Structures are given as C-alpha cells and as structure tokens.
Amino acid sequence: MRSTIFQDNYLSVGQTGARPIRYRYRFIAPSNTGVASGFDLNNDGRVVTQPGAPGYGDDALGFGAFPGQFGLVVHSRYPIETHHVRTFQGFLWKDMPGALLPDDPATPAPADWNSAEELAIVRLSSKSHWDLPIRIGWSTVHFLVSHPTPPVFDGPEDRNGRRNFDEIRFWADYVRPGHSRYIYDDQGRRRGLRPGAQFVIAGDQNSDPFDGDSVPGGAQQLLDNPRINARFTPSSEGVVEASALQGGANTTHRGNPAYDTADFADVPGPGNLRADYVLPSRGLRADGGGVFWPPSSDPLSRLTGTFPSPAPTTGWSGSTSGSTIRAAVPAGRVVRTERGQQDALRSGQAVGGQQPLYQEHSMEPGSGTCWILDRAGASGLTVVLVVPVVATPRRNSASRTAIASSRSFGAAPRWPLSMIEKTRRSPSALVT
C-alpha cells in the first residue's frame, strides 16, 4: 500500500502560488474492506470471491469492490509512536460480550444469520480500528480512528445496523478500563487504554443520536460516555436553513438540525444527519468550534453550493466532487474548507487574515478516509478528517456536501489541542 500518494500528488505540489507542505509522519495499515471472506455472508445463495463481481462487496469482510477500497490513512507533523500503535482489524465480532449479532428472522433461533463457521471469521471492524499514540512535546494523545459501516443496505436481519452499533461500542469500551478486558489487538495484546490516558475519537460514525436508520443509542455510547467530553457540539446556521428548505424527512427529525454534518436524500429520507464526530477525552477542554455549512446569504456559500445537490443516478460513470482544504489557522480559530468540482478548484488564499497552512487539493474517489495531524499555532495540534464526496449508484441516498466542523480543545496543562473535522457524505475516499 502506498501511503505517499496523497502527499506526493497533492500536498507536495504547490498550486496557484501556495507553498507545498510535507507531513513527515504517516500511518497506514490493511483494511477489511474488499477482502474476500469465502462465505455467503449476505445469504443470497452465492459465494462471490471475484473482486468487482456483483455481490462481491456484500460477501467481503467489509464492503468493498476490491481489497483496500475505502481504507484509512493518517498523515502527521507530529511523531506517531509506531512501536506502540495498536490495530484491531482481526478482532472477531463474536468475541465482544453481548454482541448484537444479526438474527435470521425466518428461524426461531437467536443471532443465527451467520453460521458458526462464518462467525469464526467475521470481524467486527468494517474497515479497521486504530489506536495511534501521537507524541506532542512531553505528552501523548491517543488518536482513535475508525469508520463504522453505514447502518443500511441490508435486510430485516439489520446486519449493518447492528455492526455499526457494535463498531461504535468498541471505542466506548476501549476508553473505559473496566469495560475493555475482552479486547485484543492484532498483536494479541489485551485490554484497552490505561486509566488517565488522553485521547481523541475521530471519524464518521454513521450514526445520528436521534434520527436516521442507526440502532437507537448507537451514538450515545460515545456522547454519554463518562470518559468522553461531549459537552460542546459544533453547529451552523446554514444547516438549519438547509433543513427548512429541503423539507422531506427533515420535518420529522427530533434532533437539533444545527448539529447536522451530512446531507442525505430528503425524500424518502433519512434527510440531514449528525454522522461525524471529533470527541476528546475528559481533561481536554472544548473551547469552541462549528460546522462549516454557510447560509445562502453568506458570501462563503459559494464554496458549498446550494443544498441539496443533485442526487446520483444509476448512470454515474466516475465523476466526483473534490474535497479541498482551504487553509488552517491558529488554535481557537475556525478553519475554512472548500469543496468544488475538480475542474474548478482554486486555492492559495488566506483565511481570516492568516496565511494558508497548506495548498488546495482534490482527491480521487473510492478508496478511504484520511486524517491529517498538523500544528495549530505555536504549540497545538490540528486534526483534519479529509474525505472527498463520491456519488455511486449503490449509495443512492447520498448527495454532495462540503461540510466541516472546527473544534478547539484547551488541553491541560501544557498544550492546546485544536481539532478540525472535515466531514462528508457517501463513500469516503483516499488512495491507499
């Protein structure tokens, strides 16, 4: 796997006068997406093992047309303590106590969608779960990243919804020493974080706390966790406006539309949802933040366009919207992000009087999620989740978005932590 493609093709290439920038540290590891299982995991009577063939993704260990599609990568200006990294790609779903294993509604037996032979190879992570210790001065913060499966695209057995719930639960248990005894990593080491460890959970959890198709309580496993500081929620005026203009499923939502980060189809639904999160541990203070979804009256709305964007059609043949990092500013300031068609990208402009930290870039579709760790001011860390928007026929509820939320965390006692979350909807992408 080449983790340098993003660096070489975009960050290292100055565009429209902007300076190139290089991230010295990066981490990439295998993903379960697109890995053939050798079993009929969707119970359609066929075992599909040919990458790219119809049904292959549904029988794979994680949905993907080929091994590594929708994988993950982290780029960092701060050292990643690689000798202490933990990955959990191989953790078996059945080994989670009380796992919500899918049930075949046609039989009286519980949790029997998968056979015993299948459960011996079915993994919890649809991609992977990573614990990356990031060294910042004299301190270490554990960067906990994952991308749980969408809780849809299944049947009455709700195998994706249940898997999504338990993928979120994994981190909820991992950060609580008394709940993580069952956990083992890919090197065979047991348990989760040590008591008092600082961490940030970041990723598209594909779960709204009140609306949408996820199993009820999925997101609350993190938001209500005693080890997580979730008291501050990024918001935006533009999200509220979009919800009112789009109507449809949004009119029946129970959650505050100001907190939404993703734009799904409004008819029949699920509408706009809060799906993406950057959550610090207790002890890291949230100083502020927001969702970059400007209202139509804001001149910056030109960066996102008018919501909703046209939904993808079955005739989609590979076009994509790029995902663009506009600039980064010191800790406590909002980062502007821009998303536009690949043939209309512009960059190199300052934001809020600050010089651009790195140049504009776009990315190709279909292969993963990227986190960037960078400085924010003299003594801080900026974390950017970068995910291009990809329209595919199978993900037929997705529409384009260009949404970002920014959070600043006053870290005690020696370093501030500024988090910037770049969110999106539909399959995530970065070449792995």
Q: What confidence tens digit (pLDDT) does each residue in 116-157 have?
A: 999 999 999 999 999 999 998 899 999 999 999 999 999 999
Q: What is the pLDDT of residue 11?
A: 82
Q: What confidence tens digit (pLDDT) does each residue in 27-38 have?
A: 999 999 999 999
What's the rounded Cα separation, in Å, for the pair 104 and 292? 42
Q: What confidence tens digit (pLDDT) does each residue in 288-300 have?
A: 677 778 898 998 7
- Is residue 376 included in any domain, yes or no? yes
CA-angle at 32, arms to 109 and 59, nearest 5°? 50
Whether pLDDT at 316 is above 80: no
Whether pLDDT at 315 is above 80: no
Please give the structure tokens belonging to residue 228.
């997580």
Q: What is the pLDDT of residue 294?
A: 86
- Is residue 51 included in any domain, yes or no? no
Calculate mean pLDDT across residues 223-244: 92
Report CA torsion sign: 354, 357, 361, 367.
negative
Q: Which pTM value belongs to this model?
A: 0.77
What's the rounded Cα separation, in Å, for the pair 300 and 327? 14
Q: What confidence tens digit (pLDDT) does each residue in 137-148 have?
A: 899 999 999 999
The rounded mean pLDDT for the chain is 75
Q: What is the pLDDT of residue 382?
A: 54
Q: What is the pLDDT of residue 2?
A: 66
- Is residue 52 included in any domain, yes or no? no
* Confidence band, pLDDT 50/70/90 cuts, at residue 171: very high
Tell me: cis bond preceding 413? Omega within 30 of 0 counts: yes
Q: What is the pLDDT of residue 187?
A: 97
Tell me the residue type at 266.
Answer: D
- Is residue 429 included in any domain, yes or no? no
What's the rounded Cα separation, in Å, for the pair 110 and 102? 8
Whether pLDDT at 430 is above 70: no
- Is residue 162 included in any domain, yes or no? yes
Total domains, the chain: 1
Whether pLDDT at 240 is above 50: yes
- Is residue 286 included in any domain, yes or no? yes
Q: What confidence tens digit (pLDDT) does each residue in 320-356 have?
A: 222 222 222 222 222 222 222 222 222 323 323 333 2
| Structural domain span for residue 160 | 5-33+68-423
